[in-house]
Structure 1
Amino acid sequence: MSDPWDLSGEEAPRLVDPVAGEGEGAADAALRPKRLADLAGQDRVRDQLSLVLEAARRRGAPADHVLLSGPPGLGKTTLAMIIAGEMGAPLRITSGPAIQHAGDLAAILSSLAEGEVLFLDEIHRMSRAAEEMLYLAMEDFRVDVVVGKGPGATAIPLELPPFTVVGATTRSGLLPAPLRDRFGFTGHLDYYTAGDLASILARNATLLGVESDADGIREIAGRSRGTPRIANRLLRRVRDWSQVHGHHRITREAAQEALALFDVDLVGLDRLDRAVLEALCHRFDGGPVGLTTLAVAVGEEADTVETVAEPYLVREGFMVRTPRGRAATPAAWQHLGEEPPSSPAGRFGQQPPLA
């Protein structure tokens, strides 16, 4: 009698493939474009940045400091990697929350090589002491290391090799003006069009080794909120659904079935987004309603509703922010398949609840 747990026979490779994840990991790492020429979308920023980098290469000097701003998921980290690749320089990655003391920044700066690219993600969250040290380092390539305490403390100047700072922020308004002024180039990343996302997804599907139809790719792109990070995540989920259900290609039907399973509707709204709209329209008759009350109604934290759901709902015209709170627009009612109320103030009449 054969052992049912014996995987030494010829059927074993069908059950367990020890190298199945190696190509997958390599493909995932290859999804980020390595050159500006491979970057789809962001044409204005790409052309401007190409000029800055080409001029620096011709001078044989490090590129000017670069500040990248925009919503999360649009490719700020990818652009930092591209800058390092285009300049043929090593890349050092850190983040603003990780630098809470001037000594932390001094340790990083003192170890930089000439021409190295230092990527500071969420740069607006650096401590004030570290920001003041960064001013001097970016402008004069020098930091002052304080030795000792009290009246006997001594500042020792430390010369730094020329380097490039690439800062990324989702809230550029929080950056102090002296720090913003020290960046030679500032680029703002906008949301991608469905066509640009379709180009990105078609390329990434090939890198993942997945066959796809143009209709299937467009279906995913149209539900990706104009964000490549979301598009790549949905692509992986559609790929998983297709593989499990025995499909060899990502078709429009496969994309629709998979995205319906993961609660992503035709315009990209997920479970939380629809919960917010349903609470606004059904429980509060369109609002206005305060953020905290709305968050309690959907069972989430107020910060989650404000930072995750609200930006896209406002951008797509499903919700508005008023002095008295959040309110649903006629488009929200139509998206839920209902007629908007005749009175814009809902059941609250002319005295809506305070925010």
Structure 2
Amino acid sequence: MSGDAVTSGEPLNDSERDFEGALRPQSLNEFVGQHKVVSQLGLLLKAAEMDSRTPDHILLSGPPGLGKTTLAMIVAHESGRSLRMSSGPAISHAGDLAALLSSLVPGEVLFIDEIHRMARSAEEMLYLAMEDFRIDIMVGKGVGASSIPLDLPPFTLVGATTRTGLLASPLRDRFGFTAHLEFYEVEELKTVLSRSAQLLSINIPDSALLEIARRSRGTPRIANRLLRRVRDYMTVHSSEDAAHAVELALALYDVDERGLDRLDRSVLSALVERFNGGPVGVNSLAISIGEESETIEATVEPFLIREGLMSRTHRGRIATSQGWAHLGLTPPSINP
């Protein structure tokens, strides 16, 4: 298993999903990080409870793995409502959404992950559902078609997206509360890992937790996955000191001291060694390492840019002086 399988945004298998589910906080008080968003959500939910009404629709945006799904679950739990979960790709036409909405019970929380990937016809149906709690169902075709209005019970929609810019303005404007989740600081990730280690009964020193946190790309999901890999290593090599086991486990899974995995280093190495630091187009870069350009743009590039190892210009991608240094190389004097 390569390092990118540990840290990338790949779909979770059942064991990983169960593992992460066991570590999810159950309330806003247990949720680590995102302090402003947590405070705002707490106020929104408390006000709705005091007014005996359904909470406003909520839009959560931000990179994968920062807690959008967890916060949706907490919204349902803290408001005492049941939770219905779906995803944008699963709603491929308006009929899918109509079936989902018509089966809701009063006050239910509907969570739609990757809501920007929902079919446009369904998105347009959602406008009316969010605003007036009703939908119009078309019956028949052609000149004989007719519209039948269907009233819906009050519900709270929690939408999650990693691409806010792909949401149509009419949909975005119908959310009563919009929050953007930020990457976590190292100390916040250390707190997440400390809680997870306690729940998993892993005896691991703070210095080792801090090292995992530094390599977790500011993302709790990645931090917990790396902790799982460390736990596996400590289980197999029980004689190893815990701090040493962390170093060896992360090295085994190709996660370096700045959190770069095999794919990240392949992209950076190709940029520096094959294209002399750039500029180079993302398609050429992808072909040179045998990877899809979409994977580089969505998974690798944002992290390398955030770490200051790569820059994106109108002429293409270039390696920064930090990128050269991370590979132990010196940039040519003509390189920006």
User: Which category describes the TM-score, using the shorter chain as reference length?
Assistant: over 0.9
Q: How far has the Cα of 1:29 moved from its partner?
A: 3.0
Mean CA deviation greater in 171-180 or 147-156: 147-156
Specify the alignment match of 2:93 in structure 1. 101
1:317 has 2:308 as partner: yes
CA contact (8 A) 1:27 1:207 kept: no
SS in structure 1 opposite 2:29? helix
Mean CA deviation greater in 43-52 or 278-287: 278-287
SS in structure 2 opposite 1:156? strand
Q: How far has the Cα of 1:252 moved from its partner?
A: 2.4
Distance 1:286 1:25 in 2: 39
Distance 2:314 2:18 in 1: 50
Distance 2:151 2:288 in 1: 57
CA contact (8 A) 2:204 2:243 kept: no
1:280 has 2:288 as partner: no
Question: Structure 1, residues 110-152: CA drift from partner, whole Å, max 9, x if none?
Answer: 1101110000111111111111110000000011112222222
Specify the alignment match of 1:329 in structure 2. 320
Structure with larger Rg: 1
Q: Which runs of 5+ in 1 are unaligned?
A: 1-23, 346-355
Q: How far has the Cα of 1:58 moved from its partner?
A: 0.7
TM-score by length of 1: 0.88
Q: How far has the Cα of 1:332 moved from its partner?
A: 0.6
SS in structure 2 opposite 1:246? coil
- 1:71–1:29 CA distance, 2 compared to 1 (3 A): closer
Identity %: 62
Q: 1:89 aligns with which of 70, 74, 81?
A: 81
Specify the alignment match of 1:141 in structure 2. 133
Distance 2:181 2:135 in 1: 31
Distance 2:113 2:20 in 1: 21
SS in structure 2 opposite 1:37? coil
CA contact (8 A) 1:123 1:167 kept: yes
Distance 2:156 2:162 in 1: 20
Distance 1:339 1:193 in 2: 30
Q: 1:223 aligns with which of 204, 210, 215?
A: 215
TM-score by length of 2: 0.93
SS in structure 2 opposite 1:343? coil
1:153 has 2:176 as partner: no
CA contact (8 A) 1:73 1:229 kept: yes
Q: How far has the Cα of 1:30 moved from its partner?
A: 2.2
1:77 has 2:98 as partner: no
Q: How far has the Cα of 1:285 moved from its partner?
A: 1.2
Q: 1:232 aligns with which of 224, 227, 236?
A: 224
- Number of corresponding residues: 322
- 1:25–1:123 CA distance, 2 compared to 1 (3 A): closer
SS in structure 1 opposite 2:110? strand
CA contact (8 A) 1:56 1:62 kept: yes
Question: Structure 1, residues 217-237: CA drift from partner, whole Å, max 9, x if none?
Answer: 101000000001111110000
Specify the alignment match of 1:304 in structure 2. 295
- 1:25–1:342 CA distance, 2 compared to 1 (3 A): closer
Distance 2:80 2:332 in 1: 60
Q: How far has the Cα of 1:248 moved from its partner?
A: 7.9
The one-letter code sitting in structure 1 at the alignment partner of 2:212 is I
CA contact (8 A) 1:211 1:248 kept: no
Question: Structure 1, residues 199-251: CA drift from partner, whole Å, max 9, x if none?
Answer: 111111111121111011101000000001111110000111111001487x3
The one-letter code sitting in structure 2 at the alignment partner of 1:237 is R
Q: 1:208 aligns with which of 193, 200, 215?
A: 200
Specify the alignment match of 2:154 in structure 1. 162
Distance 1:157 1:221 in 2: 52
CA contact (8 A) 2:254 2:261 kept: yes
Distance 1:205 1:285 in 2: 43
Specify the alignment match of 1:245 in structure 2. 237
